[in-house]
Amino acid sequence: MLLIKKKYTYLLSIRLHLPLISAGLLLSPYFLSAQIVQQQSEKFSINLKNTSLFTVLETLQKRTDYRFFYDRKAAKKFRIEQLKLANITLNEILDYLKDNYPIAFQLQQHEVTVQIEHPEIASIKQELLGKTKEKVKDLNSGNRSSTLDEVSIHSTVLNGSIEGFYKNQKLRTAMSNGISAAQTQGSPYHDAALLLKRISGLQLLNNKFAIIRGLGDRYNNFELNGATLPSSEPNQRNFSFDLIPSFLIDYIIVIKTGQADQTSEFTGGLVQIMTKDIPGENFTSLGIETGMNSRTTGKSFISLGRSAKNYLGFGDTRVEKPYGMSFSEYDILQPQLDNPQNIKQRQQAASFLSTIPNNWMMHRYIAEPIRNYQLQFGRTIPLGTKRMGLIASVNYRNEQDADQHDQYYPTIQDYKGTDYSFTSTWGSSLNLAYVASQNKVSFKNTYKRSFNDLLYGFNGRDILNNAEVNNYTNTVIISQLYQSTLSGEHTFGLNGLEFKWQGSLSHLDREQPFKIMDRRKTGNPNQPEEYYDYYFNDRQASLGSLYYSDLKERLYSWSASLQVPLRLFNMQQKIKAGYLGTYRKAVFDANLYRIKTLPQASGNLVNFSGFAYNEVYNQTNFANSMLYLYPISGSGKDVSGNLSGLGYSGFQQLNTWYGMIDLQFPNGFRLNSGMRSELNNQQVSSYNPAMKTDAMTRLNKWDWLPSMNLVYALNSKVNIRGAWYKTVARPDLRELSYFDYFDPLLMRSISGSHLKGTAVYNYDLRYEYYPGAGEILSASLFYKKFQNPIELQLLASTGKPAYRYLNLKEAEDVGLEIEFRKSATFVASNYIFFKQLYFSGSLTWLKGRVQLDQSMDSTGTNHKRDRPLYGQSPYIINSGLEYTGKKFGLNLFYNRYGKRIIYAASSMSENEYESPRDMADLQFSCKLFKQKRAELKVNVINLLNQTLFTYKNQYGPAQSAYTERSPSIQDAPGVSYQLTEGQADPKGSNYNSAYDVVTGRKRSGTTCSIHLSYRL
């Protein structure tokens, strides 16, 4: 019997691959996710007579978005007399074939093996067992029958639906979380940053930077369609996710454990944003959105002016650099301007400075409503058994906000202000794909452009300089991101040898001109109310300055991998090897100038006291040599005569080789283990203002990075996972430079230093339970050990605060993650309403400690601190309520995180914390018309509108028992002094209004919008 079975049994492997995603902006979730969910549940009819399994599979491939790879000869030999099914889904068709024919499905990673028995064998079994049908046992699953629920369909359809997304998560060897296309559609968020709030263990910093498991900056990495994204910020290694509109996203995966074929430069998580290349059907869709903000829309809005170009995402003459000479040429000329006798040099400088745009006067507008427009186009072109797909899209958004922004720094400043932000963004994408049998090639292109004009108007007291101020800072950021990726995947032979390759380029350009206008009152009672003085005789950037910067970053990558299948333990195993090369180049030009007065022919300086600010800051005074620009560093150092500017230039070249094995064992274990070898070469050139000379920093290191992921399938619904892996966190090019960056909103300078790379040893343990389709319950434990972690630290100073990136000696994290998603069928399983209602949530708890390097800790002999790394919260809570009916939908999301250090220090009382707050968002949706081609969505963002505030564990001016800035917490263990009785805050580092000082307040208002979409 066994010999006959071997003779007549055919195995054919049906591979349903996820289209390998490259670069490109894609379909709006408003349409794409709806299309993907529809594709899984779409019903159609099939009527075939006297046919073969080959014909059936070819028919299904043409009617769906699935890709089928199989042994055609074996499929053609298997005959089906008649297949007549009406109004049935694809899953139901496959179930029917399995139940009515001698076919069984064998689970392999990203594969479905169909075991076909010859009719003669089926007849013998029927006679011996007395059964009309025989379900074939899965040879590699013990006594468990293989069912369709165990099938891994690695495709866009899988990740598009919530059920399929969890199925893929279950089968992935690395631990992960994420959000499916169906969930992106059912959210009220307009950019990728806000979508990330829904993922377990994630939170946002400034509503645009991702923090994963409490880790931010260099401890995370980001990919768009498999290609690494460049850093969007000139002063830190990070990516601003608000650059990516949510409607272009298919799904997001956050990988949380290392694997040899993934980048090693992450510790918190690897964010993979995916888009789609081949639509399931032809479509054209339109979308329009409008909305209002409770603090802004229809109210007074302050700006330095705007033009039609700003609405389109472009700058204009108001933000251009002065022309006629370069800044380097001006810097050579500048030291000669103090002497009134150097008439020729003054004329040359005045001619140059007179071209500074005359854009200093504030204008009052009425804030306009939100505007958002979307157009998407998709086509699938059948070419026999081959297919070509095209998706193109364009999106435009304009938004105006006026957010509360108050700043207090003990003994330094006390300001009340408002951030007036005018933002125009538009993006486009063009994605092409060609699928032929066992080959696929994709070409994806994404472009995003953004114009942001932020005016921070503030008034209050400059405590350090003993004056009342009424000032503004104006920062304009014009950025554009272009990414293009060409990739291919090819399968050879009956065994499924896989070869994949990819090449990508990313271009990021970011211009940032800013200006600070300063006017102040000295408190003279004899002066009128609107009488102001102007200080021009020092080097403080915050007292009046101009700044121009331009970041150009280019990132190129190329990769290839080969995956070889083999049989071991009578199961499918895989060996994979590959190479990845990346080259990154960044040039950051920065010029910061203090606005100062020039001595006149009489030898006296011009006295502008009592003048209106626009009569002081204007082209005329620069043209008449009354005002000029004096070059300074971000911290106010004199850099006159520096010919290299204040930016940096550098490159990073990374060559990576890796090998790994993916083994499955008959007892339910699966092991993925490998080694990754990375040769890193970084070089940065910058000006050191302290030494007044150019400095070169080099970093060359070869890292060996092992990884191991072990999965035990306790049964078809439960996985137990364990992982051990080593990762690295390399300093960014900017952090290796000596560049001194001045942040005009914080009024603080940030600098780098010669940093060492961080090595991180990671351990993870996870329990996963998948009770039903689209449901999950998981619990994870993790431990991380950091060597030489990098942290942004406050430098000890009695003046204005300054920050620097520094290496700590070591740090540790231990944490717990719990996630669940459950339908409401436990209330009443027979009602369709409860089947369409889901509860979801996640909790992350974290405990950390750090140990400072002795050289940076002057507080005592014990350099350990009972606190986590900056940016980490002790807990993160995400929860949601989701209802998706045939016509109506409702989504409610809640988020809260614990206090986190936004700026660290060696003294515990100098740590600056961001306080916890509750956030909630709501969306209501309704499908319109008979064919439900239109959909109306009502979104409410920041429903609770709580104030975000920052604080320090120090006494403020309101607490009279102790002098201002006295600590309310012990600065360090083991120091010689102790706090007096009653001085210590009983809540420790948690906020206590009786002991702690509030250093900042922000409030952004509630945003309500209406979005209407129509599918042609």
In this prediction, residue 267 carries a pLDDT of 84
Mean pLDDT of 151-171: 58
Highest mean pLDDT among 193-197, 199-203, 333-337: 333-337
Q: Please, which residues have CB within 8 angstroms of residue 457's CB and are 6 or more apart in sequence?
A: 302, 362, 417, 418, 420, 471, 472
SS3 718: strand
Q: Please, which residues have CB within 8 angstroms of residue 940's CB and are 6 or more apart in sequence?
A: 188, 921, 922, 923, 1006, 1007, 1008
Band (68; pLDDT cuts 50, 70, 90): low
In this prediction, residue 645 carries a pLDDT of 58
Is a pLDDT exceeding 50 seen at residue 3? Answer: no
In this prediction, residue 132 carries a pLDDT of 31
Highest mean pLDDT among 6-15, 522-531, 859-868, 962-971: 962-971
Alpha carbons 766 and 335: distance in angstroms, whole number: 64
* Bridging pattern class, strands 283-293 and 227-228: unpaired
In this prediction, residue 93 carries a pLDDT of 74
SS3 267: coil
pLDDT digits 0-9 by tens, 262-282: 988 888 888 888 777 777 678
Band (453; pLDDT cuts 50, 70, 90): very high
Q: From 30, 5, 90, 23, select the one nearest 56 (Cα to Cα).
A: 90
Residue at 271: amino acid letter: V
In this prediction, residue 857 carries a pLDDT of 67
Mean pLDDT of 202-219: 72
Look at 148 and 466; give whichever has higher pLDDT. Answer: 466
CB atoms within 10 A of CB 450: 21
pLDDT digits 0-9 by tens, 721-732: 999 999 998 888
Mean pLDDT of 314-332: 90
What is residue 385's DSSP assignment? T
What secondary structure, in 3-state letters, does 643-709 show? CCCCCEEEEEEEEEEEEEEEEECCCCEEEEEEEEEEEEEEEEEEEECCCCEEEEEEEEEEEEEEEEE
Is a pLDDT exceeding 50 seen at residue 41? Answer: no
Contact 581, 504 (CB under 8 A): no
Percent residues over pLDDT 70 in the chain: 81
Is a pLDDT exceeding 90 seen at residue 778? Answer: yes
Mean pLDDT of 158-185: 73
Is a pLDDT exceeding 90 seen at residue 104? Answer: no
In this prediction, residue 122 carries a pLDDT of 42
Look at 8 and 117; give whichever has higher pLDDT. Answer: 117
Band (293; pLDDT cuts 50, 70, 90): very high
Contact 197, 936 (CB under 8 A): no
Mean pLDDT of 1-17: 32
In this prediction, residue 995 carries a pLDDT of 92
Band (60; pLDDT cuts 50, 70, 90): confident
Band (149; pLDDT cuts 50, 70, 90): very low
Q: Tell me how far CA of residue 680 lies from CA of 48, 231, 450, 503, 739, in angstroms.
A: 59, 17, 32, 19, 22
Q: What are phi and psi of 257, to 5 degrees?
A: -130, 150
In this prediction, residue 190 carries a pLDDT of 60
Contact 485, 225 (CB under 8 A): yes
CB atoms within 10 A of CB 849: 15
pLDDT digits 0-9 by tens, 304-313: 999 999 999 9
In this prediction, residue 35 carries a pLDDT of 34
Q: Tell me how far CA of residue 705 lies from CA of 198, 414, 708, 711, 738, in angstroms.
A: 31, 49, 10, 20, 30
Look at 931 and 429; give whichever has higher pLDDT. Answer: 429
Band (53; pLDDT cuts 50, 70, 90): confident
Band (114; pLDDT cuts 50, 70, 90): low
pLDDT digits 0-9 by tens, 883-894: 988 889 898 999
SS3 228: strand
Is a pLDDT exceeding 70 seen at residue 862? Answer: no
Q: Tell me how far CA of residue 768 lies from CA of 175, 274, 581, 719, 721, in angstroms.
A: 10, 24, 35, 5, 8
In this prediction, residue 243 carries a pLDDT of 62
Average pLDDT, the chain: 81
Band (209; pLDDT cuts 50, 70, 90): confident
Q: Please, which residues have CB within 8 angstroms of residue 447's CB and are 6 or more apart in sequence?
A: 25, 427, 428, 429, 480, 481, 482
Is a pLDDT exceeding 50 seen at residue 977? Answer: yes
And the tokens for 459?
């008034």
What secondary structure, in 3-state letters, does 363-374 show? EEEECCCEEEEE
Is a pLDDT exceeding 80 seen at residue 256? Answer: yes
In this prediction, residue 572 carries a pLDDT of 83
Q: Tell me how far CA of residue 5 lies from CA of 114, 141, 145, 815, 1013, in angstroms.
A: 15, 18, 19, 52, 56
Residue at 48: amino acid letter: L
> Using alpha carbons only, what angle is made at residue 576 by residues 575 and 577, rounded to the nearest 5 degrees?
135
> Using alpha carbons only, what angle is made at residue 519 by residues 513 and 523, rounded to the nearest 5 degrees?
160
Contact 953, 995 (CB under 8 A): yes
Instruction: Report the run of H or E that residue 441 belongs to, with start and end.
Output: strand 439-462
Is a pLDDT exceeding 50 seen at residue 826? Answer: yes
In this prediction, residue 155 carries a pLDDT of 37
Mean pLDDT of 139-143: 32
Residue at 336: amino acid letter: Q
Band (102; pLDDT cuts 50, 70, 90): low
CA dihedral 129→131→135→140, nearest 10 degrees, is -10
What secondary structure, in 3-state letters, does 541-553 show? HHHCEEEEEEEEE
In this prediction, residue 970 carries a pLDDT of 86
Question: For the residues of 908-921, what is the DSSP string, one character each?
Answer: GGG-EEEPPEEEEE
Look at 525 and 270; give whichever has higher pLDDT. Answer: 270
Alpha carbons 542 and 577: distance in angstroms, whole number: 54
pLDDT digits 0-9 by tens, 400-450: 999 999 999 888 889 999 999 999 998 888 999 998 878 899 999 988 899
In this prediction, residue 4 carries a pLDDT of 29
Is a pLDDT exceeding 70 seen at residue 873? Answer: yes
Look at 142 and 635; give whichever has higher pLDDT. Answer: 635
* Bridging pattern class, strands 220-224 and 269-274: parallel
Alpha carbons 366 and 430: distance in angstroms, whole number: 37
What is residue 867's DSSP assignment? S
Is a pLDDT exceeding 50 seen at residue 8? Answer: no
In this prediction, residue 639 carries a pLDDT of 74
Residue at 249: amino acid letter: I
Alpha carbons 391 and 283: distance in angstroms, whole number: 9
And the tokens for 227?
């290609």
Minimum mean pLDDT among 133-147, 206-220, 497-511: which range?
A: 133-147
Percent residues over pLDDT 90 in the chain: 37
In this prediction, residue 112 carries a pLDDT of 46
pLDDT digits 0-9 by tens, 674-687: 999 999 999 988 87
Band (196; pLDDT cuts 50, 70, 90): confident
Is a pLDDT exceeding 90 seen at residue 236? Answer: no
CB atoms within 10 A of CB 197: 22
pLDDT digits 0-9 by tens, 343-368: 999 999 999 999 999 999 999 999 99
